Structure 1
């Protein structure tokens, strides 16, 4: 008799930024344990989207769960945060808890139909803490996948558990669990700033954090050598094993024909620029900035010494999926940058990993979403930080303290308005021939080495973590 066949069920929160690391994890698992059965479970819309991106010979099994959006007052087809305005996010978060019965039925059928009684491990997103109850019910090993960074996650958990900003009138305050970490009020996201512990956001996040204490183990998309402080903080707070297994980056995929045209224009632009000369700007797949902030940013980019590629979306207050209007940018801006070959505006999709990996890309102006940070560091590209919400503020803190970035602005409030001169100054500082810029770029290159060594099969820290994790779950 051979060893019973093991099964890993992956359950990401339905959002693009969460799907990508789960898919990358599935690829890693199959590479090192080809006999493992791996099933990714999500809502029907997300499964269809994932299926269309997979190669024909993909090893990954997919299972869709019905998601009755109308029962929660959500529009039809809105099965991802990217489909919704910010004010409906909390409704969506809470609605995902209604997936419990369908997932429970799926796991129950897996257990009933398993002929050899092989081990079962459920790996779920932090935002889906209720999956722990299902795993316990069916005697499966449960693992929480933290798709955040370690430092950002630790601070985020502390803020939502303790609301320290409500205990003082001061603009700066320490965190109860980590008194060495001082937070500025401007680094508290809009939802957290308005929360009091009894609101919907507070209740949801507290519920997930309390459930997290019951997981068997956690894996996190970071690298031990990149975030030693953040990992120490998490291990101080939580008593279960925490295994850093990053960087888990978005799997490479071929763009559609429409995307291919955009990609050709982008790569052509980059190919014509000097090495490390281009600033890449993107606020992620869901975020954007105020109209006036967009105007000032455009003025500063035009006045800086660097060519740029800007993945641009309509500003706050406009339809995020609507047509982009020239009035949101300085008069004549598009024509001037086109004529001078100074900049390229990209609407919608962009091949971010290819841009960051191109020799002409010198820095990344980012909202500091965790996937973007990992992709930038993996390519040794320093960051000009403009965090907008949630853990992005603390990701930015970590980057600045690590010496691989400079913060340009913070948040989307009217008080956060980097003027033209500030944009020019910061961009030219990070990318120019000055001592500070050279040191930042040098540190970013060291981070690239750390990221690349993490998955070395002969002793890389993330490789070791994954092997130890699998020993723990007996697969």
Structure 2
């Protein structure tokens, strides 16, 4: 007899940008389906961090899987991408598979009591084998846009790309999509099936074509072409369940440092401040940082910059003045033109502040959704993975202008273009006004997707539950 209670197991990839939407997903699942039991699994340090951030009344259960990164030549505390030295991502992917036996045991025990549904990150494809072993429902979660994810998948599954000099590249699955080589990181351009890391990545991503359903953190309104692309190439349900933005986050400052941020923002008029961040773990070259700073000064616009050491330096080291133009940080502070955040910043709260007028972003999909949810247009500087393809989508939507591309030394960044682009997006001109209007319209549409059970994303969750019941009852 089929079990009537359902236990949803969430397994995000160990990175801040992957964990955040999984937490938002569990909040929505509990909101619309409160009888579900939901457990998030991860490694010990990640579980401890998540536990400390949850409210005492959270119904989310947490389960820790033993993990020994030192066994793979990693630092003993390397349990998330934020803790990885440069160049060790491939090793981290290999190491993560070591938690599979513990995950298998957890699913074995859970299956004795409930019908299990595994929702795992797109980079944890080996969870599909565990699901099949236990006849459990399995869904892969794409934290990217549908368009960005579809193009990135095609790029990665059709290696190598160094067999010709053609530029742009054409994709077998999507002949209408042209990919300039400048949108691809160097390691992708040179990757081949002889590289163990590439082989593993392709193996993990291939499960996106074999899972029971593909969940995508997007909406039909934002991303119709991308959703159609995924449906064309994946013979399985593709369910948009976004925007999954950290709606449970409070905008009330929780520390003196955060209070200082908002006190500074309160001093500036509405839509006058540029917010700058390259995500929770990435940075740019020192020379690029110099040009960006010079462009900011030339623009005359106030800005708040979440800044970390440039590439090639330890991200946790103290920031050095020599990485910026002489006297730049001191000068910007004295003129009340710049506020520098060294470390973590409450991004959602900052973007929702009335003084923010634009976001200079790496265009990771979480940052994009957080920006558009607040009606803030974007200045795009994509760095890696699917980010350049997100920019393509955003430019087509009319809410983004690309200022630079990539983090290689050869990626051109000029202070004049930085200043000019800031003026286009934030200035009193037709283009800037149009971008702001479109961003505000998208913000309204994004909020509508979660207003009641009849709205699109709530329907997506209902479709997911029907699939779970159908698969687990067979």
Q: 2:4 and 2:408 mapped to 1: Cα distance? A: 56
Aligned match of 2:400: 405
Offset at 1:30? 1.1
Tell me if 1:129 matches 2:129: no
Deviations 1:445-474 (A, max 9, x none): 121112111112153211111111111212
Aligned match of 1:33: 33
Tell me if 1:49 matches 2:44: no
Q: 1:119 aligns with which of 108, 115, 136?
A: 115
3-state DSSP of counterpart to 2:311: coil
Is the 2:304–2:338 contact (alpha carbons within 8 Å) kept by the matching residues of 1? yes
Is the 1:279–1:362 contact (alpha carbons within 8 Å) kept by the matching residues of 2? yes
Q: 2:65 and 2:455 mapped to 1: Cα distance? A: 37
Aligned match of 2:255: 260
Is the 2:9–2:40 contact (alpha carbons within 8 Å) kept by the matching residues of 1? yes
3-state DSSP of counterpart to 1:350: coil
Aligned match of 1:161: 157
Is the 2:231–2:238 contact (alpha carbons within 8 Å) kept by the matching residues of 1? yes
Q: 2:351 and 2:209 mapped to 1: Cα distance? A: 37
Q: 1:176 aligns with which of 165, 169, 172?
A: 172
Q: 1:413 and 1:13 mapped to 2: Cα distance? A: 26
Tell me if 1:189 matches 2:173: no
Offset at 1:268? 0.9
Q: 1:233 and 1:323 mapped to 2: Cα distance? A: 44
Offset at 1:206? 1.2
Q: 2:373 and 2:252 mapped to 1: Cα distance? A: 25
Is the 1:365–1:383 contact (alpha carbons within 8 Å) kept by the matching residues of 2? yes
3-state DSSP of counterpart to 2:105: helix
Deviates more, 1:411-420 or 1:368-377: 411-420
3-state DSSP of counterpart to 2:123: helix
Aligned match of 2:238: 242
Q: How does 1:227-306 map to 2 (within 5 A)?
A: 227-253=223-249, 260-306=255-301
TM-score normalised per structure 2: 0.96
Tell me if 1:441 matches 2:429: no
Deviations 1:390-439 (A, max 9, x none): 11111111111221100000001223232211111000110001111111
> Over the residues paired in the alignment, what is the CA RMSD in angstroms?
1.8
Aligned match of 1:11: 11
Aligned match of 1:150: 146
Distance 1:185 1:401, change over 3 A: same
Offset at 1:211? 2.0
Distance 1:253 1:404, change over 3 A: closer
Q: 1:394 aligns with which of 389, 397, 401?
A: 389
Deviations 1:254-291 (A, max 9, x none): 6999x612211111111111111110000011100000
TM-score normalised per structure 1: 0.96
3-state DSSP of counterpart to 1:348: coil
Aligned match of 1:85: 85
Q: Which runs of 5+ in 2 are unaligned?
A: none
Offset at 1:357? 0.5
Distance 1:253 1:454, change over 3 A: closer
Aligned match of 1:317: 312
3-state DSSP of counterpart to 1:165: coil
Tell me if 1:463 matches 2:458: yes
Aligned match of 1:377: 372
Q: 2:395 and 2:251 mapped to 1: Cα distance? A: 34
Offset at 1:249? 1.3
Q: 1:164 and 1:455 mapped to 2: Cα distance? A: 41
Aligned match of 2:103: 103
Distance 1:359 1:255, change over 3 A: closer
Q: Which runs of 5+ in 1 are unaligned?
A: none
**Number of matched pairs:** 470
3-state DSSP of counterpart to 1:451: helix
Is the 1:224–1:462 contact (alpha carbons within 8 Å) kept by the matching residues of 2? no
Q: 2:220 and 2:463 mapped to 1: Cα distance? A: 14
Offset at 1:252? 3.5
Q: 1:140 aligns with which of 136, 142, 167?
A: 136
Is the 1:367–1:385 contact (alpha carbons within 8 Å) kept by the matching residues of 2? yes
3-state DSSP of counterpart to 2:29: helix
Tell me if 1:332 matches 2:354: no
Deviations 1:5-39 (A, max 9, x none): 21111111111111111111111111112121111
Q: 1:86 and 1:277 mapped to 2: Cα distance? A: 35
Aligned match of 2:336: 341
Q: 2:375 and 2:84 mapped to 1: Cα distance? A: 33
Aligned match of 1:217: 213
Offset at 1:441? 1.3
Offset at 1:171? 2.5
Q: 1:248 and 1:404 mapped to 2: Cα distance? A: 19
3-state DSSP of counterpart to 1:473: helix
Q: 1:202 and 1:463 mapped to 2: Cα distance? A: 36
